[in-house]
Each structure stands twice: as C-alpha cells, then as structure tokens.
A and B are shown apart, each in its own frame.
Chain A
C-alpha cells in the first residue's frame, strides 16, 4: 500500500507570495492518477489538480501541479486570501485510493 507524505505540515504566507507544497510517495505513482484537493473549514474537499498537472474546471491558473514518479508539487504562484485551507494529495493504484495527511495553508 502506497503512503503519501506531504510537506510542510503547515505554512503561513502573505498574499502575493508563492506557495510550494510537496507530496512524496513511498513508491512510484502514475502521474495520471495523482490529484490535489483544497478543503476549507466546514466544507467538502474540492478537486483542483488531476493527472498531476491538469487544472479542474473553474480553478484559476495561479494553481499548477507538476512532478512524476515519487515526487509531486502543487504550486500557488500568487496567493490570494481565498486560498487558505488544507491541501491534500491523492493517488490511485492497485484498485485502492490513498490520501496524504494534508498541508495547511494560512494567509498572513
């Protein structure tokens, strides 16, 4: 069973700054099956990146995903106040799905 480790656990940045979130898999993952979600307090998660680098419908282009193999990255190029929340990576393999433990993004 693949384990996804996200880092950092939390980060606090000012609006306009760049956020870089990491997701590391315990074994190689197909980029086709790597996704990122944003979750705000009291809300369901929202898909933001699928296939490692494709933005979901309605997601602004300041969000981008990259990576392959065991290392994947979510970048928010210029943080907006509404980008706060917890971000989770997720992978699919061997008919099972796994989430990372999340990275909390706080806007200063």
Chain B
C-alpha cells in the first residue's frame, strides 16, 4: 500500500524558515522514475504546485517560489524534506506531498496534508 505522510510544525513566525518532511511507504525513492511533489493550498483557495524531486536528485521548482525553496531526499529513510525560507502570513496553507505518476506526469497518491499557519 502506497502512503505518504507530511510532518512538521503547525505554526511558524514571519521571517522564519519552514521545514517539512514527507515520509514515504510502499514505494522507494531510489527506484528509477520515482518523483515526489510538494503542493500547497491556502484555506479556501486552489492548489498550487511548489516543487518536485526525482529519484536521481534532480529538482524543479515553481518559478514564483524558486528562490525560497530547497528540496532534498534521504533515501535510507525514504523521506523528502522541503525547506521554505522567509515565511509570510500569505504562506499559511495546507502543504501536501504527492507521488509523481511517471508516464502521465500527474499526482497519483497524496499525503493527508499538514496545515501550517504563519503568525506572530
């Protein structure tokens, strides 16, 4: 069974750095073709794609957030870590990780999401 689970702080202060972890189960980050995305959704708003990391370590980022994002993976723990710097209240959102469907480039499995609130 494929599962993804996000973890991290629920509250961060403005200007702080957010670190979120996605723990994978049922598939391996070391398998060719595997990719893991991060997507966020502000309350009551639409989904926004943030970034992807591939099995080979290659990463791609949303142009609007590229300067603030870092993605890394720990294959031994089967985890992906997202770092977002200089957090602002507009970054308040539910953050999801999701698995890449290699052939059709869609999101075929999702984590439950974690709500991150940015407030002083």
Contact = CB atoms under 8 A, between A and B. Distances in A.
B49 A98 contact: yes
Chain A CB count within 10 A is highest, among B48, B52, B101, B113, for B101
Interface string A19-54: 000000000000011010101000011110011001
**Mostly helix, strand, loop or mixed at chain B's interface?**
strand
Interface residues of B, number: 23
Interface residues of A, number: 25
A101 B45 CA distance: 8
Contacts of A46: 110
28 contacts: A33-B104, A35-B107, A37-B47, A37-B107, A39-B47, A44-B98, A44-B110, A45-B47, A45-B107, A47-B106, A50-B104, A50-B108, A51-B104, A54-B104, A88-B47, A90-B106, A92-B106, A96-B62, A96-B63, A97-B37, A97-B105, A99-B46, A99-B47, A99-B48, A99-B49, A101-B46, A102-B46, A102-B47
